[in-house]
Amino acid sequence: MSDTYGRGPPVGQVGLIALFVTALVTAQLTATKILAFELPFSLPVTGSTLILPGAALAYAVTFLASDCYAELYGRRAAQVVVNVAFAMNFVVLALVWSTIAAPAAGNGVAPDIFEAALGASTNVVLGSLLAYVVSQNWDVIVFHRLREYTDGDALWLRNVGSTATSQAIDTVIFVTVAFLVAPALLGLGRALPLAVVAQLMVGQYLLKLAIAVADTPFVYAIVGAVREYEGDGVAPA
């Protein structure tokens, strides 16, 4: 049977959007766990332990996906994905909170454990949403400014440069709002000591920066593979 509607959306485009949304949803659901990575050496502020929210790992993947998408399909398309995914955050929250509110059967996971595991606190939700919408749009803008400045060369520079600056913005906004502003001004949760807040900021940013540098070969591999597969369907190198 012939395909009446054509060949369908490009696999690379669908794959990158799926990766972006999957990582974003995972970050939303893992934000409340605090991670601790022991280092073989000591750093200023953090000491020998990097302390960071659990969402940092998954959230770093969203920048890999958005940078690949921006490189292949352009600034406007990337911003559409970023802002539609922002709206989908509210869908995730609504589905999780409605499941928490629904009556539970006698068997299965206890309701209080389920709520503790998946019910992100309001201060974390506010911090993550604000940090997301600012930092992801900034990432797309800087990525394309660097692309114009280098005439399309040095993909590594716009990948690392855009992600490094946007991750700094994301880290400062999220930690400040979630663990300082919302608890102190809105009474949401417990405000953390400034020393712990500084540790969270530095630890989260260092890990994200390391991932941004380490994922550069993957960005080249993904962009190269999609360009070869889709040809004229993507922006030229």
Alpha-carbon distance of 179 to 131, in angstroms, equals: 13
Q: Is residue 6, in this structure, part of any structural domain at all?
A: no
User: Is pLDDT of 89 > 90?
Assistant: no
Alpha-carbon distance of 157 to 21, in angstroms, equals: 25
pLDDT one-digit tens code per residue, 171-213: 999 889 888 888 877 766 678 888 888 888 888 888 888 888 9
Q: Is residue 1, in this structure, part of any structural domain at all?
A: no
Please, which residues have CB within 8 angstroms of residue 227's CB and are 6 or more apart in sequence?
Answer: 72, 234, 237
Q: Is residue 78, in this structure, part of any structural domain at all?
A: yes
Q: At what angle do helices 155-176 and 216-230 cross, to 10 degrees?
A: 120
pTM reported for the whole predicted model: 0.84
The answer to whether 198 touches 43, Cβ cutoff 8 Å, is no
Considering its fold, how many domains does the chain have in total?
A: 1
Q: Is residue 87, in this structure, part of any structural domain at all?
A: yes
Percent of the chain with pLDDT over 90: 35
pLDDT for 6 equals: 55
Residue ranges of E strands in 22-108? 34-43, 47-53
For residue 1, what pLDDT band results from cuts at 50, 70 and 90?
very low
> What would the two tokens of residue 26 be?
């995972």
Please, which residues have CB within 8 angstroms of residue 216's CB and are 6 or more apart in sequence?
Answer: 156, 159, 160
- Smallest Cα–Cα separation from 126: which of 188, 178, 187? 178
> What would the two tokens of residue 18 be?
């799926």
Q: What is the CATH number of the domain that holds 43?
A: 1.10.1760
The domain of 120 spans 11-233
Q: Is residue 5, in this structure, part of any structural domain at all?
A: no
pLDDT one-digit tens code per residue, 101-123: 898 887 778 888 888 777 766 77
